[in-house]
Structure 1
Amino acid sequence: MATKKTKATTSKTIIKSTPKKQPSSSPISAGRDENKKSGQITARPHASKTRKSAKDQPSNTKACMVVGIGASAGGLEAITELLKSLPNNTGIAFVIILHLDPTHKSMLTEILTRLTDIPVSEIKSNITVEPNHIYVIPSNTNLVILHGMLHLLPRVEISQQNLPIDYFLSSLAEDQGNKAVGVILSGNASDGTLGLKAIKAAGGITFAQNPESAKYDGMPRHAITAGNVDFVLPPQKIARELTLLGRHSYLLAVRAQKTDDQLLNDHDNLNRIFSLLRTATGADFTYYKPTTINRRIMRRMLLNNIEGLPGYVKYLQSNPVEVKTLSQDILIGITNFFREPEAFQQLKIEVFSKLTKDRPSDVPIRIWVPGCSTGEEAYSLAISLLEYFEEQSVSYPVQIFATDINAAAIEKARSGIYPGNIMQAVAPERVRRFFNKLNSSYQICKKVREMCIFSEQNIIKDPPFSRLDLLSCRNVLIYMGPVLHRKLIPTFHYALKPAGYLMLGTSESIGTFLDLFSLLDPKFKIYSKKAIHTPLNFDFDTIEETATKLEVSGRMNNIGADLWNNYDVLKEADRIMLAKYAPAGVLINDKLEILQFRGLTDPYLTHSPGLASLNLFKMVKSRLAVELQKVIQQAGKEERPVRKEGLEVKENGQSRNLNIEVFPFKDPVEGKNYFLIVFEEIISQTEAIMEQTQSNPEDSKGGTQPEGTQQLNQLRLELAATIEYQQSIIEQREATNEELRAANEEIQSSNEELQSTYEEMETAKEELQATNEELTTVNDELRNRNLELNQVNSDLKNLLSSINIPVIILDNDLRIRRFTTVAEKVFNLIPTDVGRPLSDIKPNIAFPQLEQMILEVINTLIIKEQEVQDRWGRWYSLCIRPYRTFENKIDGVVMTLFDINALKPSLEQRQEFYDYAAIVATIREPFLVLDAEFRVKLANHSFYQAFQVAPSETKDQLIFTLGNHQWDIPILRALLVEVLPKNTCFQDFKVELNFPKIGHKVFLLNARRIAGEGNLTPLILLAFEDITGQANN
């Protein structure tokens, strides 16, 4: 297909020719920054400099799904089957990445053009992908996609590992998000596994060819084993699923944005989904970022071919398995070993150096890694610490607590086993030192695994660890909304020691909590704790309870705002005041402390002499105090606005009439009570008449309004009486209040003592809670290790029980550790002998030097073997070998006895046979040793030399067939037949023969029976004496 030149020209401003490092957010790039020799492509533009995300930048992609297809050996056949099964109007753009010979031009485009009616183009740099097109990578290049445009990059050096499929699929995930699809077909090795992982994490969909249908199953099998594949199908069925996906409403250009909006606004159904997830898994996703939640929900809807959110809710309600699957999808973690390697180097400089300075050698370094996923981050920290210890020639005990809400991820982390392609992120030297090869996988060495304790934990609900030196929570907060940020950052502060450190991801921050942490490294977000006490709130169910009470619409509005602080309360007050009033007012909390003044409040509030106080009733003017207190109490009790009209306050001898209205409301997060008090000044009837009088002075002078004057005087009298009555009531109440105040002071004194005691108890409770969480985690780890140990013990017990060989395991002190059932008879053992010294046992074998030989094996590490006989005459082969632990330490010996009683005669016969052979070899006359069937078992060198024949022509041959059957002489046959049965012999049997090689010869033959001891098979010794010279004379 022809490419539009205008698009190619425009895109050149985006891709720079200057080589740059891969973005750290790409899963394939994380480790390659550490070791560039591992095959890093350096020409890819850095994502953070070119764009924020695919959403934020205008994409040239014409709103279509982009499918990346990766294949290698046998892949052409699979691609052919897939394309033949695709219709021409899927609405999808296909990009094919094949492992091609970099030294030859590819003919793949021409081949595929003949197979399908879909337009096929070999990629030229800066091509915009379009629906219903197939794009093929040319040879000797790598490929990325950026803003919907394909860009070719130089291939890495031939001597380095090139992973073009991982490379493109990772860029596809980053650029297209949940519109990315990855397909892995036939091929060897593991290219594509990390790319599928990136696509799945971005909300895209992944396929792998069924290994049984693949010509080479290495690539599909690796991807499936890693857990990164949604569909495992043969190529024809992959084509069918892709066709269905292309027709899904979400992926149609005209409805894609509409679907997102529907998700954001369908609060009722989102609330039902959160409730189902909370009930099934105990995890509350209410305050996760909406983009994360929406992306995961849409992905599951696509996989299940469900069009609308109401339909998906019904599907969840009837399918509990899907609820757990959705939860797993939301919790999917993108992690790798040494992600952003420079960050770990900076940790050594900024943190490790300070943690180890003047630190006692027996004080452990305590680290917490919340949201550890499958454990790569925790193990990377452990390895970095060990490297730092080695560099500085120091050593400290290390405790790394790694937790995650995902139980499956924790189990994988505990095992420490990772696919072979994960090692692309780790330098070869680290692989050699800290990993053990297990077939096609790698396992973290035991030394590193023992530094890490993994446990299932919900950091939102469960108490944190305490007394930590370092807390590493990288790329976890990015999935959570600000409400959770506000809860977790103080929790992290509480968990750290006074000189502790916090490390977040490069795109994360502590928000408004600048009073809790100081920034040490702005690039890698390393913070040090400020010496401020943080009371830990253990009311960890607040968020879940709030989630069930609040409308989801309130959730969607609140979590999109900045982090809640006092400013949020002020904003809520602004909303109420601006919506209904604009008068003077104050904002108070449930302790009646003024939090903010609004408008001109001088006529109603004033400062009292003495210590400064913001208590409302120490500032409000006395005429308002009683009524205001009643209104506040009523509003708090009834939880509704309460209004009081017709109050009066005097200022500078003048009276002001006003109304008071109190609005109660709560903090949506913490549930604390707040009150907004509004002072509304009104013009009284008296003032209205006075204004009317002032506005008509002539009428007043002329006496034309006598009734008005009388009415004014009357009102003044009534007002004075009312004020006098009210003042008397106030004085009575003030007297009562004074008495109550005295009693209250006594109560307050007692309360302060109780409060002090309560605070001490609360502090103790917090410490106990944190300690209990730590003990729970350690207990979980011990329980899991006990389960592993029990499993190993069970396996060993069953193995020993099933072996019909006497085996005894001894420790270095020659105490019995284990033995098989068969060994009980030979060594005279009973089950209670475990733990006893071997010297206390009298075995049923005759070998006095047994203990001496065992000690020699322990000291020299040389395996010893010896034939021994038991008291019943049976023969055994005793083998003693060192007992090596997993750490390659010697901790005793393993003794095995192999029954050789049936083999002993044969062994003796063979030894005797070898003795005969040695004797025969030293005799100068030609000799043959024949068995009972007259086959040659041995011939000496003189025989081969005299008759000029090779061993291959002689050994195991019948004597009568040697040469040209010269020795097939009837009389000789008769003589030989009688040698063994009758134990006879013959001498000087004369034979005269013509031989092709040596000519005419005359021999005297002598034969006799030879037999070994015991049951050894008898043999015939036949000697040849050459008398040719004597016969001629």
Structure 2
Amino acid sequence: MTNEPTEPDDAFEDLLAYLRESRGFDFGGYKRSSLLRRIQHRMSQVGITSHQAYLDLLQVDPQEFTALFNTILINVTSFFRDTDAWDRLRTEVVPALLAERSPGDPLRIWSTGCSTGQEPYSLAMLLADELGIDNYLKQVKIYATDVDDEALAQARQASYGDSDLAGVPDEQRAAYFEQRGDRLVFRPDLRRTVIFGRNDLVQDAPISRVDLLLCRNTLMYFNAETQQRVLNRFHFALVPRGVLFLGRAEMLLGRSRLFEPVDLKQRIFRRLAHRSTPIGRTGSEPAEPSGLPDRLHEQAFAASPIAQLVVGVDDNLVLLSDQAATLFGLSRRDLGRPIRELEVSYQPLSLRSHLDQVVAERKPIRISEVEYNRPGGVAHWFEVHLNPVVDGTELLGISVVFHDVSTTRALRLEVDRVNRQLETTNAELQSTNEELETTNEELQSTVEELETTNEELQSTNEELETMNEELQSTNDELQIINEAVRERSTELNDVNDFLEAVMTAFTSGVIVVDTELQVLAWNAAAQELWGVRRDEAEGRHLLNLDVGLPSEVLRPLLRSALAPAGTPREARIDSVNRRGRSITVRLLCSALLGPDGGQRGVLLVMETVAPGN
């Protein structure tokens, strides 16, 4: 069960003051009942019942600010929301705006409370259809603002799901969106014409020279006084006959003296020519004719495009221009308050010491290069003039004028930067010229070297041609030799096959070793006799083989056969064959001589004999 919101208390006002001071959000102009209900809704979500306890939570958990602002600033939006209103805008309002302007004139649009971007992108599609892509890119700038940084970050991505584009006709979806994975992204060239930024309608200065201003279902969150202040800013922002497009929930403008209805049902209005009332006036209060000069003076001072304050000799704020009120977050309610109690007394600079100096010396003071960082990260630079206001010899007060020199300072800094860049570029250019001269000399030398190298290459080429002919002749000779080698290889294969057949035909075991006693041949009968395969024996030292021939018997026989005048030797050896049976082996050991009579190795022939033979 939902509890009704209680009445605001001091702790609630402290909570609002903390939001204003710590995050730059001033909810003082919002309807108290709606604001209280939404804050208490968020408090119930985190299980907190008192405003003081919730204030304590905000002080220790910065992440809670995001959830709270998302609850207060309900971001409900869609493409072409309220189709009938957008149809009227497309068929009558936009064509009329264009007809009142020369071809090619720039068109400036301001979409306030843009949330996640559907509204400004809807405008972009509507105007691109009306003007054509090329003219749209040349003429249109759309400024889209909101106080919700998270929503602005999403809007800058220009990426939406299929469900988000439910209100976009198929032909516009095909023309203005690109498929990227499972998302649809607004065309990059048109996206660059939409400029997103943070702007608080209550505190920040409005965008100026706007032809069409959209503020749909945003004013309803403000109380009557704040609504009128915002409307005054809208009146200032719009060009003569500029169009204001509101949401269906906004009913106040039907009685406003600032705008005339174009289509009251669809909440479309046109700016009236006269100046808006100053901040703090509702625009509905009657004025007495006898006060006309004072009112004219007050209105003229308020209408000054320069931020200006007048402080009385009693240190109270006496006069306030609209520009100063917008810039420093002041209102008509601050008139008559001591300047020391106002934030403007210590930022963007400490005014009190300068005011005391003007009172003491009765001389103007000028302070240059005064920086003021507004909420939202917008930096302004001022030149502040403090002038005594005197009547004869009597000091009536001090005028404090804030001349915005941000543009001039930015230009000066840019000129300084460009000059430094030019100096650096000139030095680099001089260095480059010197390097080019050196490079040209090196290039000339390289060309001469290349000519010499070319001559050498030509000579080398001739030598290579001669060498190629010699290689061709050598190749022919090698082919002849190769053919002879193939014939000899065939003969050797035949001899080897013959020898293999001979060795296999022996029923006696035959072993051939070289002069180092390395096994060269091992026939099948030897394998059958000793159980050692040919591939296991060949290439190994005979005396290292584990066979039934004792080395003490073999070694003298082999040494005798390898002697210069070696003669065949025969021996009978009692041994064990591969099957583990005792046998008697007759071993014939003879020298293996080469064609030249030189010692080549030893031939061992082994056969088993019956005992006693």
Q: TM-score, normalised by structure 1?
A: 0.29
Higher Cα radius of gyration: 2
